[in-house]
Amino acid sequence: MTKPVILTGDRTTGPLHIGHYAGSLKSRLEMQDSHEQFLLLADTQALTDNANDPDKVRRSVLEVALDYLAVGIDPAKSTICLQSHLPALAELSMLYLNFVTVARLERNPTIKDEIRARGFGRDIPAGFLCYPAAQAADITGFRATVVPVGEDQAPLIEQTNEIVRRVNAVAGQSVLPEARAVIPKAGRLPGIDGKAKMSKSGGNAIALSASPDQIAAAVRAMFTDPGHLRVSDPGRVEGNVVFTYLDAFDEDHTEVAALKEQYQRGGLGDGVIKRRLDGVLQALIGPIRDRRAELARDPGYVLDVIRQGTEVARARTQDTHRALVQALGLFRL
């Protein structure tokens, strides 16, 4: 029996953080046995909003690959590949741009939010506006049917399926499969400052490569409940980042529930819950950091993993492109 194909990707704009871990790396680890999994180092997509810093995009390729391997992605089970070295994805993107309108791209909620967040206005880079078509190329290029993404990315899968239906209709056959977004139950992890999005550029992230001191400092600075002044005061757990992270990473749910109750009643200091979280995060990140440092001493190995994965991915995506050209009945020499 063939396994369902799963594709995930990360823009290579910096090392990954614990938000990536909770949001998707963990489910990728769980699915690498039951699925045929591809992990895309999305350096081409990273350029769509980082064109002025190609150096960062290049450097981050190895960083993200190291993060994948350090958390336990096994290259014998999962294929790690580099987007810019898969020309069929660029060719598919160009084809798909004919099956989508500018109005539809502008209406895409992911794009709309990002235009607002980045203050692009009408000066949005055309590549950025069109990245939903490129992401449709990624997904269909691998013939992925399962795409684990954060909730904010769900509209991209919807738009992918619209393109798939239009292409299939014109081709008069089901040449491309539709895909299903898998949204992690945990939801998106906020930044340590309580802002909705954890990001390296926002300075509110904890990297998977964080040192013990960096973890401790992040926990110390973490947003709790500004109204919780004395230990005896009742405190709020909603919007309290320490509890949000304990919910995400502390496996002792009964104890976390008891702590929440005590915190809400009053009589539990921030120091106590922060010490607990520090312990949980040190235990989570410690082994990842050590494994990452070990791998970083052998960049040749990491490069080989990417090279071999990209080779496999190249064959797969070229195959899809060929099938599509044939199904559409385009001229071939």
Residue numbers at the binding site for ligand TRP (CB under 6 A): 7-11, 40, 42, 45, 135, 138-139, 147, 149, 153
CA distances from 127 to 46, 88, 123, 135 (A): 10, 17, 11, 12
Residue nearest to ligand TRP (CB): 9
Per DSSP, what are the bridge partners of residue 146? 6, 180
The Cα 190–Cα 179 span in angstroms is 27
Closest CB to ligand TRP among residues 45, 240: 45
Residue 137 Cβ vs ligand TRP, minimum distance, rounded to whole Å = 9
Closest CB to ligand TRP among residues 108, 224: 108
Residue 332 Cβ vs ligand TRP, minimum distance, rounded to whole Å = 28
Residue 297 Cβ vs ligand TRP, minimum distance, rounded to whole Å = 28
Closest CB to ligand TRP among residues 11, 143: 11
Closest CB to ligand TRP among residues 197, 274: 197
Residue 109 Cβ vs ligand TRP, minimum distance, rounded to whole Å = 14
Residue 157 Cβ vs ligand TRP, minimum distance, rounded to whole Å = 8
Closest CB to ligand TRP among residues 5, 215: 5
Per DSSP, what are the bridge partners of residue 36? 5
Question: Cα torsion for 248, 252, 253, 255, to the nearest 10°?
Answer: -120
Residue 293 Cβ vs ligand TRP, minimum distance, rounded to whole Å = 25
CB 314 within 8 A of CB 244: no
The Cα 187–Cα 27 span in angstroms is 12
Residue 240 Cβ vs ligand TRP, minimum distance, rounded to whole Å = 27
Q: Are strands 78-82 and 180-182 parallel, antiparallel or unpaired?
A: unpaired
Closest CB to ligand TRP among residues 256, 324: 324
Residue 153 Cβ vs ligand TRP, minimum distance, rounded to whole Å = 6
The Cα 225–Cα 164 span in angstroms is 47
Contacts of 188 (CB under 8 A, 6+ apart): 19, 23, 150, 151, 152, 196, 197, 198
Closest CB to ligand TRP among residues 50, 153: 153
Closest CB to ligand TRP among residues 12, 244: 12
Per DSSP, what are the bridge partners of residue 41? 10, 82
Closest CB to ligand TRP among residues 40, 176: 40
The Cα 91–Cα 163 span in angstroms is 15
Residue 66 Cβ vs ligand TRP, minimum distance, rounded to whole Å = 17
